[in-house]
């Protein structure tokens, strides 16, 4: 499986950005795709995840109400729609995928993901 992330860039506080992550290769099944991010000097943290078939979605508390994770199953693509951006959202954002059937409470655990895309930088600054 290969993951290709795109869509990062510079946004002003209160602005929006949309990240994309396209999966190719063995993508059949009820996989989970997620987004994680790593700010300078900090550990990588969970942002959001979605299960392919059942559409279960999980969000980190820090992004609830601001970010959504829509998907396009036909294109094996997930997005991260980021609204009301804050300077603290500045980080390298990574998409990830696992073929494991995760329970909802496990969808935010980094160690559960097998495949990772390259990071894409998101900078929120005026």
Cα distances (angstroms) measured from residue 52 to each of 21, 43, 57, 72: 13, 27, 10, 9
Instruction: Work out the pLDDT band at 4, boundaries 50, 70, 90.
Output: very high
Q: What is the pLDDT of residue 84?
A: 98
Q: What is the pLDDT of residue 26?
A: 77
3-state secondary structure of 3: strand
DSSP string, 8-73: -EEE-TT--EEEEEEEESS--SS-EEEEEEE-TTS--EEEEEEETTT--EEE-TTTTTTEE--EEG
Asked if pLDDT for residue 30 goes beyond 90, the answer is no
Q: Which of 5-19, 20-34, 74-88 has the lowest mean pLDDT?
A: 20-34
CA 41, CA 12: separation in Å to the nearest integer?
22
- Tell me: the pLDDT tens digits for 61-117? 999 999 999 998 788 899 999 999 999 999 999 999 998 888 889 999 999 999 999
Q: What is the pLDDT of residue 25?
A: 84
């Amino acid at each position: 499986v290969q993951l290709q992330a795109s869509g990062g860039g510079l946004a002003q506080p209160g602005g929006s950005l949309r990240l994309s992550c396209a999966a190719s290769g063995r993508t059949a099944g009820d996989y989970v795709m997620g987004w994680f991010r790593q700010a300078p000097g900090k550990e990588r943290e969970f942002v959001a995840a979605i299960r392919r078939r059942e559409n279960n979605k999980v969000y980190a508390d820090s992004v609830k109400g601001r970010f959504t994770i829509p998907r396009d199953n036909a294109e094996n693509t997930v997005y991260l729609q980021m609204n009301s951006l804050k300077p603290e959202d500045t980080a390298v954002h990574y998409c990830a995928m696992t073929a494991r059937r995760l329970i909802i409470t496990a969808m935010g655990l980094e160690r559960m993901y097998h495949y990772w895309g390259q990071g894409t930088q998101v900078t929120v600054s005026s």
